[in-house]
Amino acid sequence: MSKTVTDELINANLRYAQDFTDPGMNARPVRKVAIVACMDARLDLHAALGLDLGDCHTIRNAGGVVTDDIIRSLTISQRALGTSSVVLIHHTNCGLQELTEDFRQQLEHEVGQKPSWAVESFTDLDQDVRQSMARVRTSPFLLHTDDVRGFVFDVTTGLLREIDPSATPGR
Ligand SMILES: [Zn+2]
């Protein structure tokens, strides 16, 4: 029987647990920050941002776009678990830049029904970060919307570039 990647992960976990000691933390992030980012495999948030275990919430999806489910997680993060800052991270060379909403049509054609969700594809990275910031800032469910900042992570240099929320779309 050949091993699957999941088997490899299980073995890695056994090694991890051998040296693991109970950090004695509760569920409230130490640095009171929630980070919303793309699921991209090249984006190691803890390494890139100097984060340690227990520091933050990381909420990830395809694109790092602010969907209703991201708002759900942010609402719980702020109201039940005490975070007050939000950091949004998109990145260069994102897979979503190569998709369009045609993807929904293709799905419908193939499986006979449209998904209930939008693909949330985008062509203008900066503008999509701005839209994500606006969705967080205008959410009625969040307690804290004054410290919301958005960035593009460059997958070739490892550097973050901050996006000005007020800049003109398309620039
Ligand atoms: Zn991505």
The pLDDT of residue 171 = 45
- From ligand 1's centre to the CA of 121, what distance in Å? 10
Q: Are strands 160-163 and 148-153 parallel, antiparallel or unpaired?
A: antiparallel
**Torsion of the alpha carbons at 116, 37, 131 and 166, rounded to the nearest 10:** 180
> 135 vs 1, which has greater pLDDT?
135
Residues 1-17, mean pLDDT to the nearest whole number: 94
| CB-side neighbour CA atoms (13 Å) of 32 | 9
Distance 6 CA to ligand 1 centre (A): 23
CATH number of the structural domain spanning residue 150? 3.40.1050.10
Do the domain assignments include residue 118?
yes
**Residue 155: per-residue pLDDT:** 97
How remote is the CA of residue 44 from the centroid of ligand 1, in Å? 12
- State yes or no: pLDDT of 170 exceeds 60: no
16 is a domain residue: no
Q: What is the pLDDT of residues 118-160, one digit of tens each?
A: 888 888 999 999 999 999 999 999 999 999 999 999 999 999 9
Measured CA to CA in angstroms, residue 65 lies from 6, 75, 81, 94, 119 at distances of 27, 16, 22, 12, 10
Q: How far is the CA of 10 from the centre of ligand 1 (A)?
A: 26
4 in a structural domain: no
Note whether residue 45 is domain-resident.
Answer: yes
Question: Which of 100 and 45 is assigned the larger pLDDT?
Answer: 45
pLDDT at 123: 86
Q: Has residue 170 been placed in a domain?
A: no
Residue 2 lies in a domain: no
Give a yes or no: residue 71 inside a domain. yes
**Per-residue pLDDT reduced to its tens digit, 100-118:** 878 988 999 999 998 888 8
Note down the domain range covering 152.
25-163
In-domain check, residue 153: yes
C-alpha angle with apex 101: 97 to 106, nearest 5 degrees?
A: 115
Note whether 107 and 118 are within 8 A (CB).
no
- Please state which of the ranges 5-14, 43-52, 122-131, 154-163 shows the lowest mean pLDDT: 122-131
Neighbours of ion ligand 1 (CB under 5 A): 38, 40, 94
Give me the pLDDT at residue 169, please.
Answer: 58
Q: What percent of the chain has pLDDT over 70?
A: 98
Number of domains the chain is built from: 1
